[in-house]
Amino acid sequence: MNIDRRKRVFKKIYGLVDGTLIFMDSDGYVLESSDDSRVGGYIDLPSFNNDQDRIMYRGWSFRQFKGHDGRLYVLALDNKKQTTQTIIELISIMFEEDSDDLTSEEVITDYLKDRITDEVALELAGKIKEDLEKKYTVCIVEHKSGIADEMESILRNLVPDAYTVPFDNTKMLLIFKDDNIDEVLMSVVVAVSEELLVEPKIGVGTEVEGFLKMKDSFNDAITALGVLKTYRTTDKISYYKKMALPIIINEMPWDQLNRIYKAISGNIHIVIDDDELILTAQRFFEHSLNVTDTSQVLFIHRNTLIYRLNKIEKLTGFDLRKFEDALNFYIGLYMNNRIKQ
């Protein structure tokens, strides 16, 4: 049973069972219990013979069974009534049969959280009729805590053809099965901003082919989201395939990063601390070093833009109208962001 579903089911069962109910792994580690103090502890388990799956031991009824992930689990109930064996049998059957009702999103969640092996993931994907060779792109939508249900509802309505996977209390996964995602992601940003009054951050992984490769796209999405939060703080969406430069800088040894930064940085920090100059540089990069387009988007005269670019050159030695100077300045900005982090 998927862990999230298991927790929901146990909460409902607790109120119906007279006695302490415990769910544990084959080592006796307590995963769920109607007695919260037992969760995370260990229970002394009886020895199950090869042909045994039910045992009465020290006043407890134990039932061993195999979960959808291929691992052995044990249920225990301390009620001494005659109906105890029947109750625990019914609960274990429910858990054993539950794998037939797993959804694609539950299998994906368990796989990406390393709860199941590649082999089990493929087996379960086959059971739910998932196309094992299709293409996937994993996107991580990060939001503030406390709005997960509202986020899930918006994403399911907005992107019905993608898998929507609640991952934790601040992250939702959108898993696309086609490559037309750019406009969809922009509409997600707009919808969430307007309906929930929060601005999400989205990390986009690479497109991969094959169910098991989905984990590669997921890891790329994590990297893209980290880059977005460190280097592109004003942006809303970060694509791994477009983030080669900050990814390389992020993986640089610290000593090497500092040495290169000192060699190229000059007075870049003065530009960074000047809101007008850094905005000018950022917009100039965004508009492909085009003076006319940049002056229009900044609502300033062309000569004013040239004055600012000349000022940046005077301070740093980099003429942003020249590609090589612009590239070195751009690298310096990324390095400065990482050093500040």
**Would 112 be classed as within a structural domain?**
no
CATH number for the domain harbouring residue 37: 3.30.450
Mapped to the 3 state alphabet, what secondary structure does the chain carry? CCHHHHHHHHHHHHCCCCCCEEEEECCCEEEEECCHHHCCCECCCCCCCCCCCEEEECCEEEEEEECCCCCEEEEEECCCCCCHHHHHHHHHHHHHHHHHHCCHHHHHHHHHCCCCCHHHHHHHHHHCCCCCCCEEEEEEEECCCCCHHHHHHHHHHHCCCCEEEEEECCEEEEEECCCCCHHHHHHHHHHHHHHHCCCCEEEEEEEEECHHHHHHHHHHHHHHHHHHHHHCCCCCEEEHHHCHHHHHHHCCCHHHHHHHHHHHCCCHHHHHHCHHHHHHHHHHHHCCCCHHHHHHHCCCCHHHHHHHHHHHHHHHCCCCCCHHHHHHHHHHHHHHHHHHC
Does any domain span residue 119? no
Whether 118 is in a domain gets the answer no
Last residue of a domain, one of 220, 247, 274: 247
Encode the chain (341 residues) as per-residue pLDDT tens digits. 567 777 777 777 777 777 888 999 999 999 989 888 999 999 999 888 766 678 888 888 898 888 777 788 898 888 666 566 667 666 766 665 555 567 888 889 989 998 888 988 888 888 888 888 889 999 999 999 999 999 999 999 999 999 999 999 999 999 998 777 989 999 999 999 999 999 999 999 999 999 999 999 999 999 999 988 888 777 899 999 999 998 899 889 999 999 999 888 888 999 999 999 999 999 999 899 999 999 999 999 999 999 999 999 999 999 999 999 999 999 999 999 888 87
Domain boundary at 198, 217, 247, which?
247
Q: Would you say residue 83 lies in a domain? A: yes
Residue 108: inside a domain, yes or no? no
Instruction: Give the end of a domain, one of 196, 228, 247.
Output: 247
Specify whether 186 is located in the same domain as 151. yes
Query: Which range of residues forms the domain containing residue 266?
Result: 252-340
Residues 138 and 162 in one domain: yes
